[in-house]
């Protein structure tokens, strides 16, 4: 073997050794990479799974969040919802009244009304109505505009607002109610008293009423001419008026529960009733719960009066 040949062999051996070492090193590096890759891939799967879990969780929490938000909005819109529902109730009540008139339903409607208040007993009556979840109508006068006439400790001024806040209909019964002392002298004297009470109601509650009950009733013979003239004027003013179809007879000095109950039950015979009570009468206040139960047991739906009702004369 020549010198140059030995040199070439040596170089070849070195190259082979280097290549072999390189292959070994790269193989080691590749194997390590492979295991790391396996670990990271496993990790990747777990992380993806975790991401899915937290994302699902996020969706659920977001859903709850949206539901809570809509609950808040619903609660904040309660007043509007009440108003909308109230208007829907009156629309439906008009349709039911028509059905009742056409004898197409077994349901009946009763409008409980209270005249001449507010008095200090009005609070008790409102509490009873609240307990029974019933809405009524209060035909107010101006006599008790500040302190209650029958109990000076009470402020009847606040009661006007309380009537409205409790969802009852507030209506006009003239300011003075002085039937035999000037109210029906002439149409103008009557209308003056209507406008005065309308203003008082507006000031106390913010409500402009367009429902009226004539003190003593519109259909009674007394002052018929003046009442007729007043009706024409009331129509021009956009007012409707209503008398009553049932009562417990508390307009005078009713103080017997039994008599009141007999009067009341004896007068309930129409499919649409407008029940007349007075919120100054203690007997009425005490028989009211039983009267509500009685009407409900007779299939009456109890509602407050509304302008579109067939019972309101226009």
Partner 1 sequence: MKKVLFGIFIIILGISIYSFIMLNNVITDNNNLKSKINTVNSDNSNLEKDNETKETKIDNLKTELKDRLEEKEIWEKAKEKLTSALS
| Binding-site ranges for partner 1 (CB under 8 A) | 12, 15-16, 19-20, 22-23, 26-27, 29-30, 33-34, 36-37, 40-41, 43-44, 47-48, 50-51, 54-55, 57-58, 61-62, 64-65, 68-69, 71-72, 75-76, 78-79, 81-82, 85-86, 88-89, 92-93, 95-96, 99, 105, 107, 130, 133-135, 166-167, 301, 303
Q: How far is the CB of 25 from partner 1 (least distance, A)?
A: 9
Q: How far is the CB of 278 from partner 1 (least distance, A)?
A: 24
Question: What does the block give as tokens for 109?
Answer: 């409607």
Residue 4 or 78: the one with the smaller Cβ distance to partner 1 is 78
Q: How far is the CB of 204 from partner 1 (least distance, A)?
A: 19
Please give the Cα distance from 22 to 24 (Å, whole number).
Answer: 5
Q: How far is the CB of 239 from partner 1 (least distance, A)?
A: 25
Candidates 148, 195, 147, 156; CA nearest to 175 is: 195
Q: How far is the CB of 106 from partner 1 (least distance, A)?
A: 8
Residue 80 or 181: the one with the smaller Cβ distance to partner 1 is 80
Q: How far is the CB of 170 from partner 1 (least distance, A)?
A: 15
Rounded to 5°, angle at Cα 11 from 9 and 17: 100
Residue 207 or 301: the one with the smaller Cβ distance to partner 1 is 301
End-to-end CA distance of the chain: 137
Please give the Cα distance from 162 to 156 (Å, whole number).
Answer: 10
Please give the Cα distance from 26 to 249 (Å, whole number).
Answer: 112
Residue 168 or 177: the one with the smaller Cβ distance to partner 1 is 168
Residue 83 or 222: the one with the smaller Cβ distance to partner 1 is 83
| Main-chain dihedrals φ then ψ at residue 107, nearest 5 degrees | -75, 155
* Residue 310 buriedness (CB in 10 A; 0-12 / 13-18 / 19+): middle
Residue 192 or 271: the one with the smaller Cβ distance to partner 1 is 271
Candidates 109, 159, 84, 123; CA nearest to 304 is: 109
What's the distance, CA 56 to chain centroid?
Answer: 38
Residue 86 or 282: the one with the smaller Cβ distance to partner 1 is 86
Q: What is the DSSP pairing of strand 211-212 with strand 240-241?
A: parallel
Residue 27 or 256: the one with the smaller Cβ distance to partner 1 is 27
Question: What does the block give as tokens for 78?
Answer: 């309660």
Please give the Cα distance from 144 to 148 (Å, whole number).
Answer: 5
Q: How far is the CB of 64 from partner 1 (least distance, A)?
A: 6
Other CB atoms within 10 A of residue 246 CB = 23
Q: How far is the CB of 42 from partner 1 (least distance, A)?
A: 10
Please give the Cα distance from 201 to 121 (Å, whole number).
Answer: 19
């Amino acid at each position: 073997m020549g010198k140059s040949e030995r040199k070439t062999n040596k170089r070849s051996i070195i190259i082979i050794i280097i290549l072999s070492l390189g292959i070994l090193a790269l193989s080691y590096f590749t194997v390590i990479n492979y295991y790391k890759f396996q670990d990271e891939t496993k990790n990747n799967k777990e992380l993806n799974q975790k991401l899915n879990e937290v994302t699902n969780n996020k969706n659920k929490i977001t859903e709850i969040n949206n539901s809570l938000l809509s609950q808040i909005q619903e609660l904040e819109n309660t007043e509007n919802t009440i108003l909308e529902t109230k208007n829907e109730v009156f629309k439906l009540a008009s349709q039911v009244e028509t059905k009742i008139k056409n004898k197409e339903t077994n349901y009946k409607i009763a409008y409980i009304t209270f005249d001449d208040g507010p008095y200090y007993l009005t609070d008790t009556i409102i509490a009873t109505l609240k307990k029974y979840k019933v809405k009524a109508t209060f035909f107010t006068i101006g006599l008790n505009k500040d302190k209650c006439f029958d109990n000076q400790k009470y402020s009847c001024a606040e009661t006007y607002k309380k009537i409205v806040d409790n969802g009852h209909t507030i209506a006009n019964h003239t300011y003075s109610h002085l039937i035999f002392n000037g109210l029906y002298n002439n149409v103008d004297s009557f209308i003056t008293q209507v406008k005065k009470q309308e203003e008082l109601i507006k000031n106390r509650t913010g409500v402009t009423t367009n429902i009226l009950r004539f003190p003593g009733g519109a259909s009674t013979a007394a002052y018929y001419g003046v009442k007729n003239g007043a009706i024409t004027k009331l129509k021009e003013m956009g007012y409707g008026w209503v008398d009553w179809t049932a009562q417990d007879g508390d307009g005078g000095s009713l103080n017997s529960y039994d008599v009141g109950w007999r009067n009341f039950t004896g007068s309930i015979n129409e499919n649409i009733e407008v029940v007349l009570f007075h919120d100054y009468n203690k007997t009425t206040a005490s028989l009211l719960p039983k009267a509500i139960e009685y009407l409900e047991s007779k299939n009456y739906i109890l509602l407050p009066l509304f302008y579109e009702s067939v019972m309101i004369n226009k």
